[in-house]
Structure 1
Amino acid sequence: MNSTLRSRCAKAIGAGALSVALLSAGTAGAFAASPSAASPRPKPIMTSSAKPTGTETAKPTRTGTAKPTRTGTPMANGSITARVSKAQVKAGQSVTFTGRAKGVKVGTKVVLLRMHNGKWTALKSSTVLKNGSSYSLVTKFNNKGQEQLRVMAGKVVSPTVVVTVK
């Protein structure tokens, strides 16, 4: 029992010493790499924030926001999430889309959209927002390939979800 306790203590002390050595070396390297006081310091420049590119996986957790403007680009006024039950399905197999909306009234129609020939087209699958602003849509895909999909409630649109049909 005592030998086990001693070996554990020795391991802990060794790990601590190694950690201190690594931190010291990293700190010394950071000071060596820092610019001298005589050189001018760069000033920060404000830029716009990055937007999602629509390459999310089958379970995106980010919420999409959209409100059409004169140019057709989305603008924040609400949000909706979209999760898919299966990222890969066989042709003819059912897929369930679920999610929640914020800033959208209960009872608003929720429509599943699909990217087809460079345009978002509505599928026949639709429902309404329930209490708690949640929804659930079920649809089947018969054509093989990758389907780019998103959900729209009113004027609010979710991020793109990709489903592979085999």
Structure 2
Amino acid sequence: MSFTRSRCARALAAGTLSVALLSAGTAAAFAANEKPTPTPTMHMTGKPKPTVSPMAKASITLTANKSSVTAGQSVRLAGRTTGLKVGSPLALQHEVNGKWTKLTPTTVVKRNNSYAMTAKLPKGTHTLRVVSANKAGKAVSPTVTVKVS
């Protein structure tokens, strides 16, 4: 008889412990958020699709193939972007009397997050930058200086 009572006592203790653990887990589940943040978007294959965080800042780099040219020569400007979608428009600007004005050459972000454009500039010293307006705000490259003589 003592063997049966001990088996019964063990079963009762195991049941009580199971109920305690289950209720603690349920309480924790109610305390947690309904949806985890951020929620990954899914591809058609059911795999998470990488997305750019809205908090991620867009950036643009800029280099010129020449820092000094003669009048009539072209300057090739190129760089890379981060946080911008492929096909996003980019515009070249130069500084005139403290104000930035748009120049004719424009381009778009290519598949490998790069861009390139060619510009013919008038005589003088030109401070240039590339800009893009995206949903998160305006991305602006560092400036480069090109002297045209």
TM-score interval, smaller chain: 0.5 to 0.7
- Tell me the TM-score normalized by structure 1: 0.52
Figure out how many residues of one structure are paired with residues of the other and give that number. Answer: 90
Superposition pairs for residues 1-166 of structure 1, below 5 Å? 77-142=57-122, 144-154=123-133, 155-166=138-149
**Alpha-carbon distance in 2 for matches of 1:156, 1:82:** 12
User: What value does the CA root-mean-square deviation take over the aligned residues?
Assistant: 1.1
Runs in 1 of length 4+ with deviation above 2 angstroms?
none
Residues 78-127 of structure 1 show CA distances to partners (whole Å, capped at 9, x for unaligned) of: 11100001000001110010000001111000100100121001101101
Question: Which structure would you say has the larger Rg?
Answer: 2
**Alpha-carbon distance in 2 for matches of 1:104, 1:98:** 15
Percent identity over the alignment is 48
1:132 positional shift: 1.0
Output the amino acid matched with 2:139: V
Output the amino acid matched with 1:157: V
**Alpha-carbon distance in 2 for matches of 1:137, 1:110:** 10
